[in-house]
Structure formats: C-alpha cells, structure tokens
Copies of this chain bind each other. A is one copy, B any other.
C-alpha cells in the first residue's frame, strides 16, 4: 500500500469532514461524541466490523460517550488510500 502523494493528499484529505491531521501529517484523527456509552460502543462495534472486513484497523480510545479514532498505515509509514477509505466508511455510519 503506497503512501499518498502530495497531489493525492490535496485531493482526498479536504473531503474528509472533521478529520484532522495528526502525528506530523502521518495520521488523521477524529473524535466522535454520543449520548452515552451505549451509543459510543454501538458505534465502535460497527467500526470494528468495517475495519476487520477492510483488514485495516484503527488506533482508538473510548471514555464513556466519546470515541477518539486515529487512522494511519504502518506499512506505508504514513497515510494511504486505506485510511481515506476507512474514514469515509466510518463517517457513513
């Protein structure tokens, strides 16, 4: 999996709503907030199934109603299309 080129970053990253660059541009991050833990973990269960299906897994944490997700592609040592695609799928939940 290739790391995104500058042109690809400029094309795809601005289209991701609410995702911010993290780790000096090597990752993207978004925090989701829900009404309660059931809302947060229900969301995590759906993300987990998407991630396993895509064989691309988030680095994430949860505190009660908040879910903090970071996406990066270790094999690419930065961002790849797998991150963009997983972010889009998560947002589509």
A45 at the interface (CB under 8 A from B): yes
A61 touches B59 (CB 8 A): yes
B-chain residues with CB within 8 Å of residue A58 when the two chains form the complex: 62
Q: Which residue of B lies closest to A62 (CB)?
A: B60
Select which of B45, B59, B64 is within 8 A of A45 by beta carbon.
B45
**A50-68 interface code vs B (CB 8 A; 1 in, 0 out):** 0110000111111110000
The residues of B that contact A57 with a CB separation of less than 8 Å are 37, 63-64
CB of A38 closer than 8 Å to a CB of B: yes
Docked complex: A20-77 residues within 8 A CB-CB of B: 37-38, 41, 44-45, 48, 51-52, 57-64
Within 8 Å CB of A64, what residues of B?
A: 57
CA distance A58 to B48 in the complex (A): 18
| A85 CB, nearest partner CB in chain B, Å | 17
Closest to A42 in B: B48
